[in-house]
Amino acid sequence: MRFQTVNALNLFRFEEVTVKEIDLKNKAVTVIMDALIVKGNNPNNEEFVDRFADTANVRFQNARITEVVKEGYKYYDANDRLLEEEPDQPIPVMEYEALLKKCKDVYLFDIISLKEEEGAYEYQLGMDLNESDTYWITIGCTETIVEWEKFKNKVMK
């Protein structure tokens, strides 16, 4: 890949990214995505304005998935009375791989930093698998690498 950013996920915007695939191999979790926004302050972005990257890989090195949770919900009526509630549901470890295989052409709406210390990083990935199922995947790793081949259009605000 032509461009690379290491340990600086804050130089990207992840809202509305499409996850093409999640690959688990060689102690790495690689998220292959479209519509990643490279912020203007990224040293690889010579135009200094937010721009889309072509297909990008976000690789979590020496990664371990520490938790996967299906997000619950609460429905209220117009008078603020609770009508229905579904609590968050932790996903068992043995189901992680099968769930990640379902993550093809789904929306990633954010990557949240939980911890960023040299050699010890932790992030939460929020993904909508369909209109009603949102999952939060927590990944611990020693390094993050974002790679892409070329830039596309500027992001219109």
pLDDT digits (tens, 9 = 90+) for 3-29: 999 999 999 999 889 999 999 998 999
Strands (E) across 97-149 are located at: 106-117, 120-128, 134-141, 143-148
pLDDT for residue 130 is more than 90: no
Buried b (16+ CB within 10 A) or exposed e, 78-108: eeeeeeeeeeeeebeeeeeeebbeebeebbb
- Say what the pLDDT of residue 5 is: 96
Q: Please state the domain count of the chain.
A: 1
Residue 108, SS3 per DSSP: strand
Write the DSSP symbol of residue 150. Answer: -
Q: What is the CA radius of gyration of the chain?
A: 17
Domain that holds residue 64: 3-154
Q: Determine if the pTM surpasses 0.85.
A: yes
H or E segment to which residue 22 belongs: strand 17-25
Q: How many angstroms separate the CA atoms of 57 and 7, rounded?
A: 13
pLDDT averaged over the chain?
A: 93
**Does an H or E element contain 57, and which?**
strand 56-61
Find, among 134, 117, 136, the residue nearest to 125 by Cα. 136
Q: Within a 13 Å sphere around the CA of 100, how many CA atoms are in the beta-carbon half?
A: 21
Nearest one of 14, 10, 3 to 45, comparing CA atoms: 3
d(CA 148, CA 151): 8
pLDDT tens digits along 33-52: 999 999 999 999 988 899 99
What does the chain come to in residues? 157
